[in-house]
Amino acid sequence: MAVRVDLNISLDGVAAPADPSPENPMGEDWGRLVADYMATRTFRERVFGDTTGAGTTGVDDRYAAAYFEGVGAEVIGAAMFGLHSFPDDPDWRGWWGDEPPFRVPVIVLTHRERAPIEFDNGTRFEFSSKSITDAVARAQSLAGDADVRVGGGLSTVRAALEADLVDRLHVAVRPVILGRGGRLWDDLRGLDTRYTVTSEVAESGVVHVTFAR
């Protein structure tokens, strides 16, 4: 029943790399931010469909596996669905292709309501122009006893943190200094005082920091 957030950030707190472009929609630094996460066996299997067992199996992989466990519904921003790229195409089904990796109901925050979109693998996009608080409540009603993930992007996650909706925040801090892009922690002074904070260093050098109620 927890509301969860997982993010990859740099040591200087950048969660959304600068300068996203059509050729590089996540920004040019995305690869540096998520390299160790993408190297895990779990990520390779769940996202790339690699069933050879390749990939790392240490601490990073344990967090990657936990990421995919126990989520019954998700909340994402419009940009993460892809609306901002194709706002006027009613046939656009998001940038995730025919098998979006969510496999659960997904509430998409948008200013433009539209009909739900369903996929065979259990993913169902439902659009909401209400508040982040309403969207999380709706996701909770769909998730049943399972958790809700606020999946991103950064502004959606920050809205959920500011509204104090998040029960568990896990950040994988990669020790790189990006120096530009959207930062997670800005204006969240005192966030730590609402949680118990623990940290763990992975073999890769990534520091996993968890804020839990």
Contacting residues toward a copy of itself, per CB under 8 A: 11-13, 175-180, 183, 185-193, 197-201, 205, 207, 209
Query: By C-beta, is 14 or 107 nearer to a copy of itself?
Result: 14
What single-letter DSSP state applies at residue 56?
B
Least spacing, CB of residue 45 vs a copy of itself, in Å: 27
Q: Which of 115, 177 has the CB closer to a copy of itself?
A: 177
Using alpha carbons only, how large is the chain's radius of gyration in Å?
A: 17
Closer CB to a copy of itself, residue 87 or residue 205? 205
CB of residue 63 to a copy of itself, shortest distance in Å:
15
Q: What's the min distance (Å) between Cβ of 50 and a copy of itself?
A: 28
| Nearer CB in complex with a copy of itself: 24/131 | 24
Would you say 17 or 105 has its CB closer to a copy of itself? 17
**In a 3-state reduction of DSSP, which class is residue 157?**
helix
Between 144 and 190, CB nearer to a copy of itself: 190
* 60-63: Cβ within 8 A, 24+ apart: 60/36, 60/172, 60/202, 60/203, 60/204, 60/206, 60/208, 63/6, 63/170, 63/172, 63/202, 63/208
Q: How far is the CB of 201 from a copy of itself (least distance, A)?
A: 5
| Cβ at position 203, least distance to a copy of itself in Å | 11
SS3 of residue 61 by DSSP: helix
Residue 55 one-letter amino acid: G
H/E run at residue 15: strand 14-16
Question: Smallest distance, Å, CB 73 to a copy of itself?
Answer: 28
* CA of residue 96 relative to chain centroid, distance: 14
Can you tell me the distance from the alpha carbon of 185 to that of 157, in angstroms, rounded to the nearest whole number? 11
